[in-house]
Amino acid sequence: MDFFQNVYLGNSLQNWTIAVCILLIVFTLLKVAQKIAISKLSKLAAKTDNAIDDLVVSMLKNTKFLILLVASAFAASHVIELKPAVEKMWDKIVMLILIVQGGLWASAGISFALGRTIQKKMDEDTSSATTISFLGFVARVLLWAIVLLLILGNLGVNITGLVAGLGIGGIAVALAVQNILGDLMASLSIVLDKPFVIGDFIVVDSHMGTIEHIGLKTTRLRSISGEQLIFSNNDLLKSRIRNFKRMAERRVVFSFGLVYQTPVEKLKLAKRIVSEIIDKKADARFDRVHFKEYGDFSLNFEAVYYVTVPDYNTWMDIQEDINLQIFERFAKEGIEFAYPTQTLYVQRETS
């Protein structure tokens, strides 16, 4: 037993032996508890829709070997005496490893939330997943920048000047790449606010097309004539966008003119005929028909109705059928359509 009383580095061999035993026992218990917890929670997570258990499993899997070893060593260090300088250094080492492990847990949380969000977006809008992935990358960069600053602060480095310098440098970089940052923020706005998604047919100023891709900097449309239109995200959101895909119903206004020789009875009949034709159409809701004005060479009527489905082809089919029926009924009733004509009256002077 005298052998265990020998002193090494200020502690007896007995104390060192007890410390090592505590380290091994605590480390074994922590490792076993980690594996059991991961196994049990993984089975539970597979049976439930709750995201919390999945997050806990993800964080447990990111609990590194080193943090378990340091936690065990920290518990074992209480049975031995350390010199003040060594104890101070040991406390810093423990704190640094805790900061790094906290960063790993936070990174696991970001990755978990990002993965679930991307999975949902892949079913709705695949292009949004790209933007969300980029935002996740930015979030992780910011996280590890904070972790680095905490580490430097724990090591005694004055980070106030460093943060101020980074702030000034960040402003300079932001000014240099403000157009790119503007497009990135516009991309974030598109993803979150959803003014349009892939597959929507939109009109931007004089350009129109179907959304094919929403990227970090640009959005791409396929025009009706076949070419691809590429818009900067920032410029696109500054424009007036008309999204026809989200149209609930379509208001249709059309006009026709009758000759000036048409009797008043026929004018009233024409209005009634058009009203009846539109009112009987499926997927159409009649609004009004009016004798609108006296034109240069015709008596002008205006008709208004609503197509209750937004499909363009459906609208054109309904309008075509209305036009054909009006033509047939007017011909049957002897109502004449007007066309540009000019009547010249010649007066002969008598001598």
DSSP string, 92-158: HHHHHHHHHHHHHHHHHHHHHHHHHHHHHHHHH-HHHHHHHHHHHHHHHHHHHHHHHHHHHHHTT--
How many angstroms separate the CA atoms of 91 and 98, rounded? Answer: 11
Q: Which helix (H) or strand (E) holds 209?
A: strand 207-214
At residue 175 the predicted structure's pLDDT band, cuts being 50, 70 and 90, is: low
| Residue 189, burial from CB neighbour count under 10 angstroms (0-12, 13-18, 19+) | middle
226: left (phi over 0), alpha (psi -120 to 50) or beta: left
How many angstroms separate the CA atoms of 257 and 173, rounded? Answer: 64
How many H-runs (helices) and E-runs (strands) does the chain carry? 10, 10
CA 81, distance to chain mean position in Å, is 57
- In this prediction, residues 106-120 reach a mean pLDDT of 74
DSSP state string for 163-182: HHHHHHHHHHHHHHTHHHHH
At residue 190 the predicted structure's pLDDT band, cuts being 50, 70 and 90, is: confident
3-state secondary structure of 196: coil
What pLDDT is attached to residue 322? 95
At residue 212 the predicted structure's pLDDT band, cuts being 50, 70 and 90, is: confident
Other beta carbons less than 10 A from residue 197's beta carbon: 17
Lowest mean pLDDT among 20-24, 26-30, 173-177, 264-268: 173-177
Query: What's 241-310 look like in SS3?
Result: EEEHHHCCCEEEEEEEEECCCCCHHHHHHHHHHHHHHHHCCCCEEEEEEEEEEECCCCEEEEEEEEECCC
Residue 232: phi and psi, rounded to 5, are -70, 135
Residues in the chain: 351
- In this prediction, residues 226-235 reach a mean pLDDT of 88
- The answer to whether the predicted template modeling score (pTM) of the entire model surpasses 0.75 is no
| Residue 234, burial from CB neighbour count under 10 angstroms (0-12, 13-18, 19+) | buried
How far is the first Cα of the chain from the last one, in angstroms, to the nearest whole number? Answer: 158
Asked if pLDDT for residue 288 goes beyond 90, the answer is yes
Asked if pLDDT for residue 197 goes beyond 90, the answer is no
Residue 307: CB partners within 8 Å, gap ≥ 6? 249, 250, 252, 283, 284, 314, 315, 318
Lowest mean pLDDT among 1-10, 87-96, 149-158, 274-283: 1-10
What pLDDT is attached to residue 1? 52
How many angstroms separate the CA atoms of 22 and 71, rounded? Answer: 11
- In this prediction, residues 241-253 reach a mean pLDDT of 88
Asked if pLDDT for residue 71 goes beyond 60, the answer is yes
Which CA distances in Å does 129 have to 49, 107, 193, 198, 213?
22, 18, 15, 12, 11
Q: Average model confidence (pLDDT) for the chain?
A: 81
Domains belonging to the chain, first-starting first, are 187-246 (2.30.30.60), 250-333 (3.30.70.100)
The answer to whether the CB of 274 falls within 8 A of the CB of 253 is no
**Tens of pLDDT, residues 299-340:** 999 999 999 988 888 999 999 999 999 999 999 999 999 988
3-state secondary structure of 1: coil
